[in-house]
Chain A
């Protein structure tokens, strides 16, 4: 089993739709979790950290399920500008223990 797994997509959704991505991780000792957004041929940019209690930033909600070992990202009221690849990042507590998923591609359609 890969350390971090994401469905690469693409997810094609209409504007205004709600879409959710999951990311599973294999190491139960993982300590910190993040979602990044990466636009085509650009650098990854931090979207949000994922806390045990869950967190929300506008239309974006991130959740952590330690029992089932996955994190999720929910995007409500999708905009065309949300089209990007979303990377999950799992940190197992050391510099060499940061693992990036391959990303889930989202395409929001007019």
Chain B
């Protein structure tokens, strides 16, 4: 089992460009999450999907959109990247809300 996979691992964008971060899990989990991690701050939830077919905003959703393509896949889109979106992005999944989450390896994004 691969667990949670993310692509790409690294990305450099110019301000205003768009991109989609991909995430997939093979653990048959119901719930999936997108976080960003910045120096000196804890992981912050961008969006989550409690189950296939549903998505909801987290703590810092502005500038992002998500798609829960099927039970396995949950993508994060930046429509018009800004330097403030320079961060490390982690995807995670869990069986339910109260259960432990399992993380992908992360995407290191730099916006110039």
Contact = CB atoms under 8 A, between A and B. Distances in A.
Contact of B40 (A31, A49, A102): A102
Contacts, number: 53
Interface string B71-109: 000000000000000001010000001111111111010
Interface in B38-86: 40-43, 45, 48, 50, 56, 58-59
Given A95-B48, A95-B97, A46 B102 contact: yes
B42 A45 contact: no
Contact of A43 (B40, B50, B59, B90): B90
B100 A96 contact: no
Nearest to B103: A43
B45 A98 contact: yes
A87 B101 CA distance: 13
Given A95-B31, A95-B48, A96-B56, A46 B41 contact: no
Interface residues of A, number: 25
B interface: dominant SS: loop
Nearest to B97: A95
A4 B41 CA distance: 12
A101 B42 contact: yes
Contacts of B100: 34, 46, 49
Interface in A66-110: 87, 89, 91, 93-103
- Which 4 A-B pairs rank lowest in CB-CB distance, beginning with the nearest? A100-B42, A43-B103, A100-B43, A95-B97
Interface of B: 31, 33, 40-43, 45, 48, 50, 56, 58-59, 88, 90, 97-106, 108
17 contacts: A34-B100, A41-B88, A41-B108, A43-B103, A43-B105, A43-B106, A46-B102, A87-B42, A93-B97, A93-B98, A95-B50, A95-B97, A97-B97, A98-B97, A99-B42, A101-B42, A102-B42
